[in-house]
Amino acid sequence: MLKSQAPSVGSRTRSVPSLALLCMEAISSKIERYPPECLGVLSESEWDSIVRCRHRKTAPKQGHGSAAGKVACTGNKIKNSITSKTGGLDGTGRLVPAISGQVMTAIEEACPRFKCSSVADDLVWKDCVEYKFRTGGPSRPRAFQYPWDLLVARLKRSGEDLVELLKPPCKISAVENTEEGESMVDASLLHRRGRVLERSIKVMSDAPMSVALLKSSGVGKSVQNFIKQCGKLHSKGGDIPAHVVDVWSERRIEGLNLSPLGHTQSRSVHMSPLEQLQRLLQGWKNVASSSGVEVTNGSDSHVEDCSGRDKKTTAEQHDKDMKMLQKCKQWRDIYYALLERESKMMENHGKRMRKIRENLNTDRPKISQLNFKAAGRRDRREAILGGARGVRAMTAAGKRGMFASASPSDSKMQQLRKETAIIASRQVPVGVATKQSHTSGRKSPAKFGFTVANAKTLQRKPAVGFGASVASATASRGVVGTGGSKRKAPSGQRSVALSGGKKLKALKKAGGGVFSSIQQKREIATKKAYLDRQRRR
């Protein structure tokens, strides 16, 4: 009875993970904290399992679902809660690699047998390359877009797909023999083959090209054969078979590499697929002819169109990159090659800048001679009429206000003296100003202290001569009566005695505020009362 109730070994392993799997999960969660030498006890298969577990656990999750991460190392097929995000390093929204490049370098240096792991190369090193050297960035040229073996395989597949596009479909079922079935099959087949054609052209146009890559992939012969077969079909003049995709009509192409600068254009162009393939083939012939290979039907167009050389990359550096690419069989080799290339570029840049600084005194352009050319008669007249020279320019310069921007040569004290003189001239009484106008044209001393003192004392100086009592009464805003008592002036109007028995009345100050009209009426009434009292006396 007890034996029948005991769980079997298979049911126990399915429900509870083994101790080895739990250890792998613990190691993968904190792999950067372990010394690299301690991982030498692991076998190649165990290391691959740890890398897979780490990659699953660090994948972008949806919400807070962590149940998938807990059983990710069991090896069973589970529904992972990876979101439908796009972009990132691997197209799933991943922002950082599962294991950093420094940690992977230390582990593989301590355990050299892990360098042959294809799982770590695909899941970790590929993301490390994309994370540190972004595609299209200045530190990653187009030559290092893929490892050599992967690049050759992609070009081979693209060439084979082009050849297969011209062949009729192999299997034809009974349903497809009907007219409706044939039309449906033809539509789906043409749509699928059209996508294959676009993908093949995109792969071939984005790939850097060299003579070694042409020989290894054989893509040049495949493209040439495809162009010949399409030409034969079009030259017959009859109906083109229904299974052949249309390669003669122009269509909108995005991101086609047709720029003479060597980089992929982002703008759209209208061109037929057959014309695109012809231009690619001609560009590959130019690359081969520039390397010393005898090619028929070559042209003098830019070699950078299909060689993959960037705008700021020299031809010598591009040749070095292509030779280095042939040695890069895996993504980790791409990572180390880009690190070495970056260090060399920084070193060469530092040497170039030091050389420029050392030769700055000798290589800097200097002015050997300066000649002054007199302005012509016509130019002088136009300058005078335009106001740039002559009396108009001097008048415009003299009409500048006191708050105009001072020239750099004027100091703060000089500007302060000018402002003080202007304020003092405005505060001079009318009688004093008239008296000074009748005197001799003697200039006052142009000293700062005298100007300030004169501005303060001119208001206190009493008027001299006839009408002094009236002027003093006006200045103090009062009138002296017969008994010596001071009375309030009837209004704010002032009168100043002048020579010849004449009087000058100053303008009344405009009333301010809301009750200015009421105040004026009161002043008029006060003045009338004052005049009545004077008459009665």
Task: Tell me the per-residue pLDDT of 227-258, one tens digit each, with 9 for 90 and over.
Answer: 988 888 877 666 777 778 888 888 776 654 44
Which residue from 333, 337, 339, 334 is spatially nearest to 115, judged by alpha carbons? Answer: 333
In 3-state terms, what secondary structure has residue 271? strand
Q: Are strands 495-497 and 503-505 parallel, antiparallel or unpaired?
A: antiparallel
Task: Give domain status of residue 96, yes or no.
Answer: yes
The span from the CA of 112 to the CA of 89, in Å, is: 26
Domain boundary among 336, 356, 376: 356
pLDDT at 474 exceeding the cut of 80: no
CA angle 260, 262, 268 (to 5 degrees): 75
The span from the CA of 17 to the CA of 21, in Å, is: 6
Specify the pTM: 0.58
CA angle 147, 148, 154 (to 5 degrees): 90
Helix (H) or strand (E) holding 500: none
Task: Give domain status of residue 166, yes or no.
Answer: yes
Residue 299 confidence class, pLDDT cut points 50, 70, 90 = low
Task: Give domain status of residue 263, yes or no.
Answer: yes
The span from the CA of 298 to the CA of 304, in Å, is: 15
pLDDT tens figures, 32-84: 999 999 999 999 999 999 999 999 999 887 644 444 444 444 444 434 444 45
Largest CA distance in the chain: 149
Looking at the fold, whether 247 and 161 belong to one and the same domain comes out as yes
Domain containing 493: what range? Answer: 428-437+445-478+489-499
Residue 298 confidence class, pLDDT cut points 50, 70, 90 = low
The span from the CA of 54 to the CA of 27, in Å, is: 9
- Please report, as a single letter, which amino acid is at residue 196: V
Task: Give domain status of residue 281, yes or no.
Answer: yes
Task: Give domain status of residue 368, yes or no.
Answer: no
Looking at the fold, whether 147 and 284 belong to one and the same domain comes out as yes
Looking at the fold, whether 12 and 144 belong to one and the same domain comes out as no
pLDDT at 271 exceeding the cut of 90: no
pLDDT at 513 exceeding the cut of 90: no
Looking at the fold, whether 252 and 314 belong to one and the same domain comes out as yes
Residue 463 confidence class, pLDDT cut points 50, 70, 90 = very low
The span from the CA of 325 to the CA of 208, in Å, is: 10
Looking at the fold, whether 222 and 120 belong to one and the same domain comes out as no
Query: In the structure, how many helices (H) and strands (E) does the chain have?
Result: 24, 6
- The whole-number pLDDT of residue 256 equals 47
* Mean residue pLDDT across the chain: 74
Looking at the fold, whether 32 and 120 belong to one and the same domain comes out as yes
Which residue from 339, 320, 328, 341 is spatially nearest to 147, judged by alpha carbons? Answer: 328
- Please report, as a single letter, which amino acid is at residue 25: E
Report, in this order, helix, strand and coil percent for the chain, each rounded to 5.
Answer: 55, 5, 40
Task: Give domain status of residue 450, yes or no.
Answer: yes
Looking at the fold, whether 88 and 227 belong to one and the same domain comes out as no
Q: Which residues of 259-287 are buried (b: 16+ CB within 10 A; e: fewer)?
A: eeebebeeeeeebebbebbbbbbbbbbbb
Task: Give domain status of residue 521, yes or no.
Answer: no
The span from the CA of 217 to the CA of 121, in Å, is: 23
Which residue from 306, 297, 275 is spatially nearest to 204, judged by alpha carbons? Answer: 306
Task: Give domain status of residue 511, yes or no.
Answer: no
Number of domains in the chain: 3
pLDDT tens figures, 393-406: 666 666 554 445 44
Looking at the fold, whether 71 and 154 belong to one and the same domain comes out as no
Which segment, 61-65, 501-505, 523-527, is predicted with the most confidence on average? 523-527
Q: For residue 198, give Cα distances in angstroms to 50, 248, 252, 321, 330.
A: 38, 13, 11, 28, 27
In 3-state terms, what secondary structure has residue 79? coil
Looking at the fold, whether 239 and 344 belong to one and the same domain comes out as yes
Looking at the fold, whether 163 and 281 belong to one and the same domain comes out as yes
